[in-house]
């Protein structure tokens, strides 16, 4: 019998592919929908569908490795007296202690600090390990308010009001009982071991008019020192960004549908929200129309993996990016050395997404002490810092080739699209043409 059915002339259905068949069979057997981690796995238009136009006759490049190409960024100088000053526009996205081990959170803080950038708490509050190892820490203000307290608010370097995330806009959160240890439960004021819901709506404000008052409250509590971010999952991005800016945000974070999660329904991850590529130009246009582009900084996340993605985000008008899944991979997530253990869990290196189960062999998305102890926070921090450095240098390489002395000088004019869809979403011309679908040009 041949191992490859296709070689025998058998034909797999494009509509009912193997993953779809397995999902139907699983649903039929269990009667429960699938919950998993990671982000959208389906193919959507993404930054790979864009290319840079390096300098040639009509543009003047900068010398690689030698001529200066700066990467620093200031976030939150619209209203805050202490804006963040970062050495690189690559930041670490919000991920909770609870979803991640304390070691993983510490490693992310170490990596971000070494690279001169910020990291972010998550749903569940701020841990001493994270604060202690994060030079610049953004404190998330979420609907659940788990662990929220004014002391940590004052200890934070910035505050991020979270309305949603790209993996599940409108969905709140969940953390399954196997990860609700005594420590996690105590931080969230919940009974240990229960399947925990994180609210999908903020408990004390509704809509942009209320948000404006809420932002002012947070500023008053922290004496107007801290930058206030507003994070939205990418859906009606143009309107969300306008409203967030009008509500007084210093920084707006837009998280596309490829953004990761620790535990969400598969149907939610794959079918709600829009791609990062589609959201980013909407956000920029919204800010430009308000006269606030660059005054309100824009951070983009959701499938940002490398320096090319960073450079493309910057060229489309972002001020910075946030990485989540890429940072976990840098820590060791899905590393081939754990393949045998992934297979025992019914997965494999490169496929593992069962962050919700808490049995992560890499010790990252777990609260099991033995598994978590596998992750060395110092080594993990070094790896994360290395990734951020590489991403930054890759983006510099591209920026210099486009003749830009600062990453933020990259512009849409430096880009073309490979597909009609990506040209329409990114609002840059289809390669080899001057056609931008949907603009009348």
Partner 1 sequence: MAPVTEIDLRSASVRELNGALHRAEPGTSWRVLHPGGAHNLAVGLDAAVDVVIDGHAGYYCAGMNQHATVTVHGNVGVGVAENMMSGTVRVRGSASQSAGATAHGGLLVIDGDASARCGISMKGVDIVVGGDVGHMSAFMGQAGRLVVCGDAGDALGDSLYEARIYVQGRVRSLGADCVEKEMGPEHLAELAMLLKAAGRDDDPAGFRRYGSARRLYHFTTGNSY
Binding status of residue 190 toward partner 1 by CB under 8 A: yes
CB atoms within 10 A of CB 346: 9
**Binding segment toward partner 1, per CB under 8 A, in 42-50, 101-109, 170-178, 390-398:** 170-178
Map residue 92 onto helix, strand or coil.
strand
Alpha-helical (H) ranges within 189-306 are: 207-221, 237-246, 266-271, 276-289
Smallest distance from partner 1 to CB 205, Å: 7
Q: How far is CA 375 from CA 110, 239, 362, 366, in A?
A: 13, 41, 7, 11
Q: Total residues contacting partner 1 (rule CB under 8 A)?
A: 34
Binding status of residue 216 toward partner 1 by CB under 8 A: yes
* Of 72, 182, 217, 289, the one binding partner 1 by CB under 8 A: 217
Q: How far is CA 60 from CA 51, 161, 317, in A?
A: 18, 42, 21
Binding status of residue 153 toward partner 1 by CB under 8 A: yes
**Binding segment toward partner 1, per CB under 8 A, in 18-26, 161-169, 214-222, 268-276:** 214-222
Closer of 35 and 230 to partner 1 (Cβ): 35
Using CB under 8 A as the binding rule, the residues of this chain from 93 to 152 that contact partner 1 are 144-145, 148-151
**Binding segment toward partner 1, per CB under 8 A, in 113-121, 173-181, 277-285, 294-302:** 173-181
Binding status of residue 200 toward partner 1 by CB under 8 A: no
Binding status of residue 369 toward partner 1 by CB under 8 A: no
Query: 295: which 2 tokens?
Result: 């005054």
Query: 108: which 2 tokens?
Result: 């992310």
Binding status of residue 176 toward partner 1 by CB under 8 A: yes
End-to-end CA distance of the chain: 56
**Binding segment toward partner 1, per CB under 8 A, in 31-39, 111-119, 311-319, 387-395:** 31-39
Binding status of residue 23 toward partner 1 by CB under 8 A: no
Residue 266: name the closest of 438, 26, 2, 81 by CA.
26
* Chain center to CA of 135: 20
| 45 to 84: interface string for partner 1, x by CB under 8 A | ----------------------------------------
* Of 23, 26, 78, 177, the one binding partner 1 by CB under 8 A: 177
Closer of 197 and 294 to partner 1 (Cβ): 197
The percent of the chain in helix, strand and coil, each rounded to the nearest 5, is: 40, 15, 45
Binding status of residue 207 toward partner 1 by CB under 8 A: no
Binding status of residue 213 toward partner 1 by CB under 8 A: yes
Scanning the structure block, which residue is given the tokens 């808490």?
358
What is the phi/psi pair of residue 318, to 5°? -75, 155
Map residue 410 onto helix, strand or coil.
coil
Closer of 149 and 288 to partner 1 (Cβ): 149
Give the burial string for 390-419 (b: 16+ CB within 10 Å, else e): ebbebbbbbbbbbbbeebbebebebbbbee
Binding residues for partner 1, rule: CB under 8 A, are 31-32, 35, 144-145, 148-151, 153, 174, 176-177, 188-191, 194-195, 197, 199, 203-205, 210, 213-214, 216-217, 220-224
């Amino acid at each position: 019998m041949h191992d490859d059915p296709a070689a025998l002339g058998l034909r797999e259905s494009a509509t009912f592919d193997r993953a779809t068949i397995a999902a139907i069979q699983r649903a039929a057997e269990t009667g429960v929908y699938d919950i998993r981690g990671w982000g959208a796995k389906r193919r959507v238009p993404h930054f790979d569908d864009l290319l840079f136009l390096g300098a040639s006759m009509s543009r003047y490049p900068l010398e690689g490795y030698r001529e200066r190409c700066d990467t620093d960024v200031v976030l939150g100088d619209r209203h805050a007296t202490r804006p963040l000053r970062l050495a690189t526009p690559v930041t670490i996205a919000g991920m909770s202690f609870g979803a991640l081990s304390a070691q993983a959170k510490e490693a992310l803080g170490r990596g971000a600090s070494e690279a001169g950038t910020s990291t972010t708490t998550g749903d569940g509050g701020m841990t001493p390990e994270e604060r202690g190892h994060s030079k610049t820490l953004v404190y998330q203000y979420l609907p659940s308010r788990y662990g929220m307290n004014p002391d940590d608010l004052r200890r934070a370097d910035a505050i991020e009001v979270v309305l949603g995330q790209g993996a599940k806009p409108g969905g709140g959160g969940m953390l399954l009982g196997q990860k609700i240890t005594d420590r996690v439960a105590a931080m969230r004021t919940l009974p240990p071991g229960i399947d925990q819901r994180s609210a999908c709506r903020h408990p004390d404000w509704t809509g942009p008019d209320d948000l404006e008052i809420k932002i002012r409250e947070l500023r008053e509590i922290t004496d107007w020192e801290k930058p206030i971010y507003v994070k939205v999952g990418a859906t009606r991005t143009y309107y969300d960004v306008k409203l967030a800016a009008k509500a007084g945000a210093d920084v707006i974070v837009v998280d596309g549908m490829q953004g990761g999660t620790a535990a969400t329904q598969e149907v939610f991850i794959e079918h709600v929200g829009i791609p990062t590529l589609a959201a980013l130009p909407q956000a920029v246009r919204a800010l430009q129309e308000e006269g606030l582009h660059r005054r309100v900084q824009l951070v983009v996340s959701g499938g940002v993996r490398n320096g090319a993605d960073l450079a493309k985000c910057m060229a489309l008008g972002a001020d910075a990016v946030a990485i989540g899944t890429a940072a976990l991979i840098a820590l060791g997530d899905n590393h081939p050395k754990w393949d045998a253990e992934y297979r025992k869990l019914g997965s494999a290196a490169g496929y593992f997404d069962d962050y919700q189960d808490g049995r992560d062999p890499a010790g990252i998305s777990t609260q099991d002490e033995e598994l978590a102890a596998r992750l060395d926070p110092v080594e993990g921090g070094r790896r994360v810092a290395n990734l951020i450095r590489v991403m930054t240098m890759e983006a510099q390489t591209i920026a210099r080739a486009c003749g830009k002395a600062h990453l933020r000088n990259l512009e849409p004019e430096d880009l073309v699209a490979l597909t009609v869809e990506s040209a329409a979403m990114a609002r840059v011309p289809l390669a080899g043409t001057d056609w931008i679908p949907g603009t009348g040009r």
